[in-house]
Structure 1
Amino acid sequence: MLTRRVSELSDFRVSYRRIECRWFCCVETWHWIKTIVQKDAEFDANYNDMVTSENQTIYAFNHTISRNKTEGVRVSVDVLSNKSESPILFVVRQKQGVLSFQVPLILRGLYQRKYPYYDVGRTLCQPPTRAASETQYFFVDVSTLSSQGTNYQLRVSRVESFTLQNSASLHHHPNLSFFSPSLTVSIQCPIYDLDNNVAFIGMYQTMTKKGAITVQRKDFPSNSFYVVVVVKTEDEACGGPLRFYPLRPDQLIDAGNRSKALDVMVSPAINLEAYVMGMLFCLGIFFSFYLLTLLCVCLERRRNVFLNPADMSPAETGNPATIISSSADNGSTMSSEAITDSATSTDNNYGYMERSLESVARSRQESLSSIEEDDYDTLDDIHSDKNIVRTKKFLYVADLARKDKRILSKKYQIYFWNIATIAVFYALPVVQLVITYQTVVNVTGNQDICYYNFLCAHPLGALSAFNNILSNLGYVMLGLLFLLIVLKRDLAQNRALERHDVNALECGIPKHFGLFYAMGTALMMEGLLSACYHVCPNYTNFQFDTSFMYMIAGLCMLKLYQKRHPDINASAYTAYACLAAVIFFSVLGVVFGRDNTAFWIVFSVIHILATLLLSTQLYYMGRWRLNAGIMRRIVYVIYTDCIRQCSGPMYIDRMVLLVMGNIVNWSLAAYGLIQRPNDFASYLLAIAICNLLLYFAFYIIMKLRSGERIKCLALVCILFTAVVWGFALYFFFQGLSTWQKTPAESREHNRDCILLSFFDDHDIWHFLSSIAMFGSFLVLLTMDDDLDTVQRDKIYVF
């Protein structure tokens, strides 16, 4: 046999091949004579001996074990001299297993740095027995290859308080005597109690101050398990500070005195009744919204039947967000509320006289422009040249609702079909990936992969935190309810158009429901993908939880813009392409955004440029072109409007909105560039939400400034949604876990359940945010119901 030493090489490869020998060879045998001494040993006695390469000592122990009682045996060794020589090998032979370790015990830390330990203790797993009581033997063999004598001390003792009872607290010292805020806690059988093998079996997790592991009976058929606590060799594993170390990773480093005291408490998990109550509570909350909607539909129908019982038809019944039209004798229709208003008042909030049914058709033929005509309105080509229409100082919805309704309806239906297609192709690989994550956690037992709130993580089957998944049911159920409400409105609108209802044809905001269908679908997908994310939450799959949040924010802004600009709203392809770019940057930010100056500079520049381009698009109603002459036109506008005559902006309202929007976005870009938040996905979501809130506030203010009013139902939805959002954000910012830190640091934020012993703060965020999103959608659906009887040439564009 040829032995060759390889040293001081960074990489090497060992090759071998099979060689058949067809001759006999003589083998010289060396006999190494060693003195073997066996001693009968006792528990709790100190044995101070010396071992060399010439002798081997065997300590024989016997103890009585009981089938109904579990005891622990601790083997403690301390090397007293010659610590620089060859290590001492200790082999513990039991009835059904062998445990071996060397002293000094060399453990490796980060970057393969070596830490020697000369005072080592190992805990033995009790062998199983079928007898009620049985005496078993085990042996401790001590040997070394050192030619010089090495003194050591051996002590074998029974571990006191080895068995943990339910709801019992134990002041426990770890297997190795060293101090650190970083620990590894493991649930296992048999026992692996070293830093380099504690992860070999069972479930394990790192911790600093707090940790929790839920043990399921199915994982331990013997109805018993061992709780092993091992102090880490370095603090960096748990997010501690980096210390100074020698450059050579193979150099031994003195770990010092590292020890930690902790309390281990075993308490019973929740029973089946808690699971049932949690599921019934979740279903009951969201089914109540279905019942409330049905009740409102019945009350609305009863109200309309009472007001006009002769003309009320079952096909015209609405939902809580529906204005129901009633047929008049002359073939024209108007809402029951308008009839009531016209009977009690001759003047309404819009500053013009309420029109009679006969005057509606006549006024439709007389004028489709504003009553305040200017030079542009007298041109002959006003109906064909959109440049002239869109550059009027005062625009009305009739000016931007000239396209064929069937064409626009098909255009906006593409939003729904596209998001449905995106949802299918996006969700399938996500589901497959999170199933893989959960399988890896269950097979390896590594609970550092997923960032749960371990103090309130209730497993069910293969799922580790079923409660976090169940609480997302609200997004799906309320998204489906919103789709049903939109469908009801869509059917009512189609019936009105089929009977040539003048109000449906010429009054109110043009009703296109494609974006509403897309919003409801996005809400349902948010629930599905949020549930997938909470199967195993970590930084690599956080975009699953936020992707459709970007979709929802973008679709809401598009819907707000579409209300007053139906002809010039963005197409589905352009909108989804922009949202895809946002999600693309979200992924890049998660992967490369941490302390990457180049990425933040590029993103901030793109953010500011996109804000300027969008501002220009909104201000000029799309009547500008991005080409080689853009700079010349900008300079010309600045010269003529600012330097030559210093005139103010032509569209003051739009300018105010865009100036505020640019201030907000530039501030967010500066914050990101300076602070560089670790959670880039949440930062990007904050940008979207800030822009949505700004536009919504502008819409409400301009609506009230224009003399319009907000009906009771819409006002109730606004107030209710605002209150729910406030409570939802409170629970969101509780921060029960965070993948921006190490798993051990994340567990410091874990908290107990606060609702039914089943749901935590983040689950309540899921409940409230789903309700708040549903309420926000209802606000968008009902906020312009007051205009259903107002002609479009009287409704301002802003």
Structure 2
Amino acid sequence: MVLRSCWKSRHKSGSGAGARRILAGPAALLWLFVTQFVCGSSAVMETKNVIQKDGQFDVTFNDTVTSENQTIYAFNHTVSRNKTEGVHVSVDVMSQGLESPILFVVRQKQAVLSFQVPLILRGLYQRKYPYNHVGRTLCQPPTRALSETQYFFVDVSTLSSQGTNYQLRVSRVESFTLLTDKKFSFTASPSQPQYFKYVFPDGVDTVIVKVNSDMTFPCSVMSIQDIQCPVYDLDNNVAFIGMYQTMTKKGAITVQRKDFPSNSFYVVVVVKTEDEACGGPLRFYPLRPDELIDAGNRSKVLDVVVSPAINLEVYVMGMLFCLGIFLSFYLLTLLMACVENKRMSKKREVFQNPADMSPAETGKTPASPYEYGSFADNGSTLSSEAITDSATSTDNNYGYIERSLDSVGRSRQESLSSVEEDDYDTLDDINSDKNIVRTKKYLCVSDLARKDKRVLSKKYQIYFWNIATIAVFYALPVIQLVITYQTVVNVTGNQDICFYNFLCAHPLGALSAFNNILSNLGYVMLGLLFLLIVLKRDIVHNRALVRNDVIALECGIPKHFGLFYAMGTALMMEGLLSACYHVCPNYTNFQFDTSFMYMIAGLCMLKLYQKRHPDINASAYTAYACLAAVIFFSVLGVVFGKGNTVFWIIFSVIHILATLLLSTQLYYMGRWRLDSGILRRMVYIIYTDCIRQCSGPMYIDRMVLLVMGNIVNWSLAAYGLIERPNDFASYLLAIAICNLLLYFAFYIIMKLRSGERIQCLPLVCILFTAVVWGLALYFFFQGLSTWQKTPAESREHNRDCILLSFFDDHDIWHFLSSIAMFGSFLVLLTMDDDLDTVQRDKIFVF
């Protein structure tokens, strides 16, 4: 019975008036004497002298303690229901008694706080750091009475037979309760953590707690805990309850009233014993397991301020603003579609009823296809007006014979016959014809649009169905994973799992950063709008084919919409997966945000190439296999690429080889083979073209593009090998974007060189998209967070909201980049509209 009572006396304190009377009366001395005698900390029974002293606030007690005596300091203070007053206990030990430390036990209402001095805190690999100066704040149990006097006792004991000097000071904490929008500065260290109380004012349901410091190190932890005892305020237990995050200079946590039934919470700040959690250098490893390491001065000056978060009106305004921006594009598109339909109707009437005018009367002479790419002495080039007039002229001297509707109809019926691409390609005469046609110096679109229209339509529709299948199987596990991430964050309270901009992260329901998710709505809405625009054009074109329209059958760039459908789907998936990524952005799910960016860049390049090379464009299976390889390397680069020389060498070699293979494919229009005889053929070409007769390249324009492309790609490969950028995913995306921009610039230049023109709508789209892309990239490079650093280092880049107090710089990047991508798609869709009435044998390939 006595042993049980001894255990209770060490782990529980009396409560109520009766218990206080026993502890304060003479019986307390007898009871303490008996318990210490029966079950002391050592195995040897010994008698201790118990000394009780009246404690006083703000008075320093200089005393000595041995194994033969125990000192009890009795304190009392008045607790008010309307005012919370903090109490801080500070202890200094003069001697280095590490083998027999002094034990301090603070017994108070509903709680017991105990700690030893020197205080041993452990770091990484169980390294030990002793602290002789310890300060702890007592938790404050709530009281129902208007005013109440509470007692607490500080027991001091040790097992050391030699006397150990110590200093004890108990003081009241000024400004223990934080006020709204009022900054409070304080100092903390690993052995002297600090925490403060905040009470939600009336009408405020959500607040954001910001802790700042001018000092990067030492690393610290801020925690939000419910009002309860004990308070977990040491490095080894601060993560037990509540929400917490590591910090260097900045820390911020959004707190909602619904999560704290008492309408109040503690803000706890703890300085860690080591800095590796914040990206700091690791200390040396101790030579002996029991070796103690001098922690040095790890005090840190911080300030804390609690501010009200946004209210419901700001949420509504943010959502309406987001919807309003993208719905305006729907309205603008509808208006422009009405105007365009009227214009095209008039244009079709003029083409179907041409004026009875000869070339001499028009003053324009159709140009020969063999003038493509050359500049005559008089500086004349082929103009789009000449191409258009050649399509409407009935003069047979220029090689154009107007076909009757009957012959066009028969041609249409033949093209719709049941024929497969393999049947078409396996004919020997067709292979010979391919070799002859594709080696012409100047090719026209009709030379590379010889395959059956139905076969090509099916071939390019596979792009859409494949990406739709990929999207379903990719998105489902992604959604499941990010829901799990968010659940883990909400349950554990670990704010280091996700890399948000914590200064502008507005929660909604279970989501921690709803604004970052909402801003991705533009990708989905504009992707859907682009699909509707493409569908409209597809329906119009199919109707024209059904009625045997001469323009649809024989003029313009061949209309294949499968790649456009794939691009629109990819844009929508980019929005969905970017939203999933921003549910909990971190190191392990970065590919959710970048995978479809690679796909969009690849599909745009394929579409540009398809416009002039419909017969020889890559199949969907080959294209997606290459994109899968790119994504695979993206993952490898993030996991293994940081500082790995071997990886960068291998990647650079593969990058350069892929560039050379693609250059060969583009230069020879697909008429080459990668087999055992390729080296022999290369040597033969070098001998005949460079040594024997030193002739220049046959396809000058293509050579210029490929030389520039190789220079750019080799430079990027060299940059990656030398600099080894940490953000490999962005580096890989930069390679794709640079190649896309280079090919697009080449396409525009060659289009103008060929005498074609850019109509008003695509020209406006090009200029508008260029401006929007510039603004978008400005906001993208603001870098509000990064998962390539530690969570604490990432928070150093956090900034406040800049738009409607709801959206940050990265949200604006989402807005602008979705608009810019939509504009880029419109450019690809409309840039060759000027050729819709031009015969295909007058449209040049480049």
Fold-level similarity (TM above 0.5):
yes
Distance 1:359 1:531 in 2: 59
| Partner of residue 710 from structure 1, selected from 752, 758, 765 | 758
| Partner of residue 763 from structure 1, selected from 796, 811, 818 | 811
| Partner of residue 413 from structure 1, selected from 461, 466, 469 | 461
| Partner of residue 237 from structure 2, selected from 197, 212, 216 | 197
Pairing 1:683–2:722 present: no
- The letter of the residue matching 2:733 is L
| Partner of residue 188 from structure 1, selected from 216, 225, 238 | 225
Task: After superposition, give the CA deviation of every residue in 1:667-725 in whole Å (9 maximum; x if it has no partner).
Answer: 11111111111110000000000000001001001101111000010100000000000
Pairing 1:233–2:273 present: yes
Select between 579-588 and 131-140 the one with higher mean Cα deviation: 131-140
Pairing 1:650–2:685 present: no
Report the Cα offset of residue 40 of structure 1: 2.8
1:150-165 matches, within 5 Å, as: 150-165=164-179
- The letter of the residue matching 2:446 is A
- The letter of the residue matching 2:154 is V
Tell me the TM-score normalized by structure 1.
0.88
Distance 2:649 2:764 in 1: 44
Report the Cα offset of residue 342 of structure 1: 13
Distance 1:364 1:647, change over 3 A: farther
- The letter of the residue matching 1:275 is Y
- The letter of the residue matching 1:349 is S
Distance 1:782 1:283 in 2: 26
Distance 1:486 1:44 in 2: 79
Select between 694-703 and 380-389 the one with higher mean Cα deviation: 380-389
Structure 2 residue aligned with 1:290: 330
Structure 2 residue aligned with 1:124: 138
Distance 1:669 1:342, change over 3 A: farther
Report the Cα offset of residue 262 of structure 1: 1.8
- The letter of the residue matching 2:258 is K
Report the Cα offset of residue 569 of structure 1: 0.5
1:393-408 matches, within 5 Å, as: 393-408=441-456
Report the Cα offset of residue 357 of structure 1: 7.8
Distance 1:560 1:593 in 2: 32
Distance 1:284 1:250 in 2: 65
Pairing 1:255–2:275 present: no
Structure 1 residue aligned with 2:707: 659
Distance 1:405 1:560 in 2: 19
Distance 2:770 2:304 in 1: 44
1:505-654 matches, within 5 Å, as: 505-654=553-702
Report the Cα offset of residue 52 of structure 1: 2.2
- The letter of the residue matching 2:674 is L
Distance 2:308 2:289 in 1: 45
Pairing 1:351–2:379 present: no
Distance 2:757 2:435 in 1: 31
SS state of the match for residue 183, structure 2? strand
Distance 1:364 1:76 in 2: 101
Tell me the TM-score normalized by structure 2.
0.83
- The letter of the residue matching 1:415 is Y
Structure 1 residue aligned with 2:112: 98
Structure 2 residue aligned with 1:787: 835
Distance 1:610 1:649 in 2: 21
Distance 1:335 1:465, change over 3 A: farther
1:379-398 matches, within 5 Å, as: 385-398=433-446
1:265-304 matches, within 5 Å, as: 265-303=305-343
Distance 1:345 1:219, change over 3 A: farther
Distance 1:513 1:343, change over 3 A: farther
| Partner of residue 59 from structure 1, selected from 73, 76, 94 | 73
Residues 540 and 590 in structure 1, CA contact (< 8 A), matched pair in contact too: no
Structure 1 residue aligned with 2:401: 362
- The letter of the residue matching 1:728 is A
Distance 1:603 1:334 in 2: 59
Report the Cα offset of residue 140 of structure 1: 1.9
Distance 2:218 2:353 in 1: 73
Distance 1:177 1:222 in 2: 26
Residues 94 and 137 in structure 1, CA contact (< 8 A), matched pair in contact too: yes
Report the Cα offset of residue 552 of structure 1: 0.1
Structure 2 residue aligned with 1:424: 472
| Partner of residue 822 from structure 2, selected from 741, 766, 774 | 774
Report the Cα offset of residue 266 of structure 1: 1.2
Residues 177 and 257 in structure 1, CA contact (< 8 A), matched pair in contact too: no
Residues 111 and 249 in structure 1, CA contact (< 8 A), matched pair in contact too: no
Report the Cα offset of residue 72 of structure 1: 1.4
Distance 2:242 2:137 in 1: 16
Report the Cα offset of residue 381 of structure 1: 5.7
| Partner of residue 526 from structure 2, selected from 461, 478, 482 | 478
Select between 718-727 and 231-240 the one with higher mean Cα deviation: 231-240
Distance 1:671 1:390, change over 3 A: same
Distance 1:507 1:249, change over 3 A: farther
- The letter of the residue matching 2:236 is N
| Partner of residue 184 from structure 2, selected from 170, 187, 207 | 170
Residues 65 and 133 in structure 1, CA contact (< 8 A), matched pair in contact too: yes
Distance 1:411 1:609, change over 3 A: same
Distance 1:166 1:346 in 2: 79
Report the Cα offset of residue 613 of structure 1: 0.7
SS state of the match for residue 200, structure 1? coil
Report the Cα offset of residue 593 of structure 1: 0.8
Distance 1:674 1:82, change over 3 A: closer
Residues 59 and 141 in structure 1, CA contact (< 8 A), matched pair in contact too: yes
Report the Cα offset of residue 334 of structure 1: 8.2
Residues 219 and 278 in structure 2, CA contact (< 8 A), matched pair in contact too: yes
Pairing 1:502–2:542 present: no
Report the Cα offset of residue 385 of structure 1: 2.0
Residues 475 and 523 in structure 1, CA contact (< 8 A), matched pair in contact too: yes
Task: After superposition, give the CA deviation of every residue in 1:535-590 in whole Å (9 maximum; x if it has no partner).
Answer: 11112211110000000000000000000000010000000000000000111111
Residues 188 and 300 in structure 2, CA contact (< 8 A), matched pair in contact too: yes
Distance 1:47 1:793, change over 3 A: same
Question: Unmatched 5+ residue regions in structure 1?
Answer: 1-28, 308-323, 369-379
Structure 1 residue aligned with 2:202: none
Residues 619 and 655 in structure 1, CA contact (< 8 A), matched pair in contact too: yes
Distance 1:589 1:346, change over 3 A: same
Structure 1 residue aligned with 2:159: 145
Distance 1:675 1:478 in 2: 37
Task: After superposition, give the CA deviation of every residue in 1:79-115 in whole Å (9 maximum; x if it has no partner).
Answer: 1124333112222222222222111111122332211
Residues 334 and 503 in structure 1, CA contact (< 8 A), matched pair in contact too: no
Structure 1 residue aligned with 2:495: 447
Structure 1 residue aligned with 2:198: none
Report the Cα offset of residue 59 of structure 1: 2.1
Report the Cα offset of residue 487 of structure 1: 0.3
Distance 1:116 1:173 in 2: 19
Residues 452 and 536 in structure 1, CA contact (< 8 A), matched pair in contact too: yes
Report the aligned-residue RMSD. Answer: 2.6
Distance 1:78 1:136, change over 3 A: same
- The letter of the residue matching 1:385 is D
SS state of the match for residue 75, structure 2? strand
Task: After superposition, give the CA deviation of every residue in 1:318-372 in whole Å (9 maximum; x if it has no partner).
Answer: xxxxxx845x8xxx84899x99x9999857635343443877993459999xxxx
Select between 736-745 and 581-590 the one with higher mean Cα deviation: 736-745
Distance 1:269 1:659 in 2: 56
Equivalenced residues, count: 736
SS state of the match for residue 666, structure 2? helix
Report the Cα offset of residue 303 of structure 1: 4.6
